[in-house]
Amino acid sequence: MSNPKSPLVGIPTRSFVIPGRREVVRGVFNAYIDSLRASGGEAVMLPPGAVAALNRLDALLLVGGEDLAAADCWSSGAPLSPVDPERDNYEALLVHRARILGIPTLGRCRGAQLVNCVLGGTVASLDAVGVARHSNANPSDSAIHHIRIGPDTRLASVLDHRVEIRVVSRHATAISALGVGLVASAWATDGSIEAIESSDWPFLGVQWHPEWFMEDVNPDRALFNWLIDEAKQRTER
């Protein structure tokens, strides 16, 4: 039975096609739900049009998926098909609402890039060398690489002031120009931005996949702990 005092974390759903079925299913991967639960939160699915539901939630988790569709989000390169403009637009509304309400938000991979673009930033395609560090030739596999964490950042505080960690990664695009009010807080060895954060809103965005834990206790779990702790503090204010 769920703990009624657990913070409620909204997760925008995405579309999935089931082979042999005409219906399109909306949902999220279990890894996100399990990660939130392990940190003391409960996931609430947010289908398109449910922006008002954010008023009754304690935190927001923006997850991965397709490239961003809008051309003005790209400083170089272009999105790869398939894209989902409806999802982009809906999640952009959630970002604006979360920022206005001060709702703690964690974005990972696409979610981090989306927030950056909503706030006026851009993304770019990684070059061949960069892709080799951040992804894998087999789309079903992921890469593991090191990132450097900036001192005196929210991310450094969340990760117990570590200066370097290993992350699980699978992406071929990266944050380019930063959005208004955002700062970079971690970088890969090729110099690409691996994390962003806001000084006027409890937001963290990371390019890697913290829901894919490499160990039982690790820096990735700390990101979900941070989101739930921020949610609890918000409800207590």
Active site members: 109, 209, 211
Alpha-carbon span 232 to 49, nearest angstrom: 26
The token pair that represents 111 in the structure block:
């979610």
Reading the block at residue 183, the tokens are 């700062």
Which one-letter DSSP state was computed for residue 231? H
Report how far residue 3's alpha carbon sits from residue 88's, in angstroms, rounded to the nearest whole number.
Answer: 32
Q: Is 17 exposed, middle or buried (0-12, 13-18, 19+ CB in 10 A)?
A: exposed
Parallel, antiparallel, or unpaired for β 8-12 and 59-62?
parallel
DSSP 27-61: E--HHHHHHHHHTT-EEEEE-TT-GGGGGG-SEEE
Helix (H) or strand (E) holding 221: helix 219-236
The DSSP-derived string for 74-116 is EEES-PPSP--HHHHHHHHHHHHHHHHHT--EEEETHHHHHHH
